[in-house]
A = this chain, B = another copy of it.
Amino acid sequence: MRRTVARLADGREIIFYDRAESAAREVAADRRPLADPGDGSQMRYDAVLEEWVSMASHRQDRTHLPPADQCPLCPSVGGRRTEVPSSDYDVVVFQNRFPSFAPGPPVDVPLGPGALPEAHFASRPSVGRCEVVCFTSRHDSSFAELGEQQARLVVDTWADRTTELSRLTNVRQVFCFENRGEAIGVTLNHPHGQIYAYPFITPRTRRMLAAAGAHRDRTGGNLFADTLRMEQADGSRVVTRGAHWTAFVPFAARWPVELHLYPNRQVPDLAALTDDERDDLARVYLDLLQRLDRLYDSPLPYIAAWHQSPVRADGTSDESLASLAYLHLQLFSIQRAPGKLKYLAGSESAMGVFVNDVVPEAVAARLRELR
C-alpha cells in the first residue's frame, strides 16, 4: 500500500491509498475557488444527561443528493473538478468540507459529574477531525461489490487513519463508519464512509466500558470476550465464522437487522489487526454485506459502525477501563420488512427503550441461508 498526501484548495488534507506500492500517484493542484470553511462549530454540554452535543449549523447547507454527473466524490475527469484532484484513485480520504468536529488548538474537554468547572451552559470549540473515505472510484458500486483485494485496501486505510488520527491533539476516540442508503439520510450516493475523530469518549463507549468494568469486578472476565464465547457456544444467533472472525445477531438486538462482528482475539482497534486477520475480515465482511443485500428485493440501507478503544486515556480509571475495550463492528438496518422501516419514535428516542419487532434467532437463521 502506498500513501500520498496532498492539500485541497482550502487547505484540507487529502490522502490517496494505492494498492500498488511502486506507482507514483499523480495529484493535480486543486484550483477550485473554495470558500474558507469557517472557524468550525461549537460543542455544548448537556448537564441533564452529562453528554456533549455538537452544534454544526454550517452543515445545513451541505451538498444534498446531487445527480451522478455532479458527484463530488468521483475522480476529476473531462474538465470537471471534484473533491478529488486526480483522474482516478483506488481509495482516497479527505477532510470533510462540512465537519462536525474540526482541528484546533488544544481544548480541555472534561466529562462527567463534577468534572466541569461550569455546572451549566458549558461549551467548547467542537474540536477533532472528520474525514470522508471513498471506497472506490466507481460511482455506481457499493462496498458489497468491491472484491476482496479492494476491501482489504479499505481495511488497511481504516487502520492507518485510526493510527494517524489517534496521534492528533484533542482526539480521544476514532470512529470509522458507513451510512448506506437514502432511507437513513445519506446525502451522496457514491460508495463512501466517514471517520469521526471525537474529542471525548462517546456515550455508548462510556456505557460499554462501565459495564465491562462491573463485569470484570464481578467475574474476573472480559465482558466482550465472554459475550463472544457464549454466542459461539449457543450458536443459534451465529451467522458466519471465519478463521479469525465471528458474526452473530446479538441476543438482545435493538434493530430489526443487527449483526455484531468480533475478531476471535481481543484487540483494541483496527490498527492492531494482523495481516491474516485483515484478509479474513475482508472476506467475512463482504460475505455479510452480500447477505444483507439479498434479504429483501432491494439493497439494504444500513449503518456499519466500528467500535474501537478510546485513545489517550489519561486518567487512571479511564485507562483501566480502556484496557477492556474489544474491537467490534456493529452492522444494522432500520428496514424491518420490504417497504417498511423501523422508526425511532417516543419509546426509543425519548426514553431509550427499544422495541424490536423481529426475533434475533429468526433473522440469524434467515441470514445463514442467504449465502
Interface residues of A (CB under 8 A from B): 44-57, 59-60, 64, 100, 113-114, 119-121, 175, 177-179, 184-186, 194, 196, 198, 202-205, 207-208, 210-212, 214-215, 217-219, 223-224, 226-227, 230, 234, 250-254, 303-305, 307, 330, 332, 336-337, 340-347, 349-360, 362
Contacts and interface: CB of A to CB of B under 8 A. Distances in A.
A343 B48 CA distance: 23
Given A48-B227, A57-B357, 7 more contacts: A114-B218, A120-B230, A175-B351, A194-B346, A198-B353, A202-B352, A332-B349
A18 to B, nearest CB: 26
A113 B48 contact: no
Q: In the assembly, how many copies of this chain are there?
A: 2
Contact of A49 (B64, B196, B211, B360): B211
Contacts of A178: 346
9 contacts: A49-B204, A53-B253, A53-B353, A54-B354, A120-B251, A184-B345, A207-B352, A305-B350, A332-B350
| CB-CB nearest 5 A-B residue pairs | A185-B343, A113-B214, A305-B350, A203-B352, A46-B252
Given A114-B214, A251-B46, A346-B177, A57 B120 contact: no
A50 B207 contact: yes
Given A214-B113, A252-B44, A56 B356 contact: yes
Nearest to A341: B185
